[in-house]
Structure formats: C-alpha cells, structure tokens
Amino acid sequence: MTKIAFIGLGNMGGPMAQNLVKAGYEVCGFDLMPEALDQLEQAGGSRAESVTDAAQDASVVISMLPAGKHVEALYLGDEGLFNVIGSRCLVIDCSTIEADVAKKVGVKAEEQGIDFIDAPVSGGTAGAAAGTLTFMVGGSAETVERARPYLEVMGQNIFHAGGAGAGQLAKICNNMLLAVLMTGTSEALKLGIDNGLDPAVLSEIMNKSSGGNWVLEKYNPVPGVMPQAPASNGYQGGFMVGLMAKDLDLALNAAAGSKTATPMASLAENLYKMHSIRSGNTQDFSSIIQLYDPAD
C-alpha cells in the first residue's frame, strides 16, 4: 500500500487527507493542532509526532501550509524533509505561496532527484470535503501525471499551468479576481438592500442577468440567502479574511514584478485590510459585506 505523509491538517488539509484515507491509501499526518490529528485518526489515518516521522518511508508527501516561509522551512531548512526523504519521492505542495518560493523548492527537488509539483487549490472547505477541488499545477508533465491519481481523489479538475511556480501564479490570478468579484457583488447587494429590495430576489435577478458570477451562484455574502454558504453560518468555516488578504498581497507583489496594472485588485486589498482591522482575520472572506455597514 502506498504511504502518504500529509503535513498540515487544517480546514483544507484535513478533509483532503481524509479523502485519501477513504480511497484506500495509508495516510500518516502531522499538524501542530492535536484536534486535527484526532480527526485524521478517527477517519482511519495515523498520526506522527513530527514531520520527519510522518515522512518516514513515505512514497508521497503532500503539504498544505499557511505561507511560503513555512514551505521553505518544511523542505529546505536545516531539518527539512529534503534531507530525509529519498530520491524519487513525490512531493505535492498544495499551499498558496509565492511563485518564487515554489520555483526555489522545485529546483532543489530536481537536484536531489525528487519529483515536485506546486498544486494550490480552489474550491473552499466544501470542495475539500467533497473531493471536488480544482488543482492548478506547476511542474513537469511527467510529474503531473505521476501525481494525478492522488489529485483525482481530492479534486475534480486538474489543470497543468506550466513549469514549477506556474500553479501558484494561476492561483493568485484566480483569487485576485475572486476578491474583486466578492467586493463588487457585496456592494451591489448592499445597494439593493438599502433601497428595499429582497437580497434573495435581487441575487436571482443578477445571477440570471449580465451581472451573474460565481459569488452569486455559489457563495452569496448575505446571511440566509444560501443556507450552505458561510454567510448563513456566522461567516465561519470558509476561506478566512486573513488568507484572502495574504493572496491579494501575493498577487500585487507579482504584479509589481511584472509591472502589470492592477487597480481593482489594489482597491480590493485596501478594502480587505480595512475589514481586517475592523472585524479581524478569522471570518470568511464573504464577510466583507459587513464593511459596507456603518461602524458601531
């Protein structure tokens, strides 16, 4: 049986690891939160006391971490996994990080004969649980094909964007647009609400008209319009404000490097920074609609 080490069992990584267990793989996980390890064990996986223990004898290592510095430390640090795992091990990093960090890890992996892809995801916690994520992948075509059986367990769509780092670039472009859509859709809905329109009716009208978009179809920011959306659960259990702000920062840094004009993304970043100061970083990013309410 193929042994998979899964590092990072948070809101996204936990369900992804559990889907691999359900598919019959031997999954050994590590996370700093004991509760996350408990959930993996309850699903049939096993827990490790360290990342080194998790990766021992693993054929595949999958990581889902908060930021580039964590990915660098995991693989390239003095006690990094590239000093532990054998050549021909397959490494799949699903974190959303700087493309330059993904490229750096990819170069080191190639030097050591390790197959590496950056494979950030889209689809949120619901997609992670349902196994319907979209993977945006950077790496060689051969490595992508080697990783495909594992990605297909966790996701529904797999796009090979190019070489190492290309998956990260595709992801930040996607999330930059998502932030712009969420802020604009929230603004339109708030205008309708403040002028007496039913948000559910207005959402249906716009979604079937030229203003239709993914936010209106899948992720409405108004509480009660979509029972399954985070907005109807106190803005909990989704993609946190802090993570969206991080992704916007990644996008704007990439834009600065390529001298790409991104005025809408810059405005969205400012709005999310304001919202973060006012309401914190832990609510779902659709809670940006609260920014349009008068301050208490």
CATH no. for residue 111?
3.40.50.720
Q: Which residues contact 69 (CB under 8 A, 6 or more apart)?
A: none
The pLDDT assigned to 295 comes to 59
Give pLDDT < 70 ranges for the chain.
295-296
Last residue within a domain, chosen from 140, 163, 186? 163
The pLDDT assigned to 248 comes to 97
Indicate the SS3 state at residue 247.
helix
Choose among 162, 7, 16, 171: nearest CA to 93: 7
Beta-sheet pairing, 115-118 with 90-93: parallel
Domain limits at 91?
A: 3-163
The pLDDT assigned to 294 comes to 74
Say which residue the tokens 């090979």 belong to.
160
Choose among 238, 139, 124: nearest CA to 174: 124
For residues 36 and 15, give the distance between their C-alpha atoms in angstroms, rounded to a whole number.
10
Last residue within a domain, chosen from 107, 137, 163? 163
The pLDDT assigned to 35 comes to 96
Contact 94, 16 (CB under 8 A): yes
Domain count within the chain = 2
DSSP state of 286: G
The pLDDT assigned to 8 comes to 98
Clarify whether residues 190 and 212 are in a common domain: yes
**Residue 290 tokens, joined:** 């609260």
Catalytic residues: 171
